[in-house]
Amino acid sequence: MAARRVADYAAHVAEDLYNCSLKRQTGVSLKHMMDFVPTQRNLLLSAQFLHKELPIRLAHRVLELENLPYGLTEKIPILQVRQWYIDSFRDLRSFPDIRNSQDEASFTNLLYQIKRRHADVISTMALGIRELKQDIGPRIGRDDVPEVHQFMDRFFMSRIGIRMLIGQHVAMHIPNQPPSYVGLISTKASPVEISRNAVEDAQVVCRRAYGDTPDVHIYGDPKFTFAYVPTHLHHMIFELVKNSLRAVLVRYMKTSSDPPPIRVIVADGLEDVTIKILCFTEQISDEGGGIPRSGISKIWSYLYSTADTPSVSGNSRDMPSAMAGYGFGLPISRLHARYFGGDLQVMSMEGYGTDAYLHLTRLGNVQEPLP
Q: How far apart are CA 39 and CA 47, in angstroms?
A: 12
Question: For residues 168 and 183, is the Cβ–Cβ distance under 8 A?
Answer: yes
Q: Which helix (H) or strand (E) holds 358?
A: strand 353-361
CA 250, CA 305: separation in Å to the nearest integer? Answer: 15
**Catalytic one among 242, 298, 336, 359?**
242
User: Exposure of 283 by Cβ count < 10 A (0-12 exposed, 13-18 middle, 19+ buried)?
Assistant: middle
Rounded Cα gap, residues 74 and 76, in angstroms:
6
Q: Angle, nearest 10°, between helix axes 121-136 and 146-171?
A: 170
How far apart are the C-alpha atoms of 265 and 358, rounded to whole Å? 10
Adjacent-strand bridge partners of 264: 218, 284
Backbone angles phi, psi at 136, to 5 degrees: -115, 0
CB contact set of 219 (below 8 Å; sequence gap of 6+) = 263, 264, 265, 266
Helix ranges restricted to H, the chain: 11-21, 30-35, 40-65, 76-94, 101-117, 121-136, 146-171, 191-210, 230-252, 329-339
Active site residue 235: yes
Of 197, 234, 235, 350, the catalytic one is 235
Catalytic residue among 243, 282, 298, 336: 243
Q: Say which of 239, 282, 287, 368 is annotated catalytic.
A: 239
Question: What residues have CB less than 8 Å from 179, skipping those under 6 apart?
Answer: none
> Is 67 marked active-site?
no
What residues contact residue 12 under an 8 Å CB cut-off, 6+ apart? Answer: none
Strand order in the sheet with 262-272: 216-219, 262-272, 277-286, 353-361, 343-349
Give the residue numbers marked as catalytic: 235, 239, 242-243
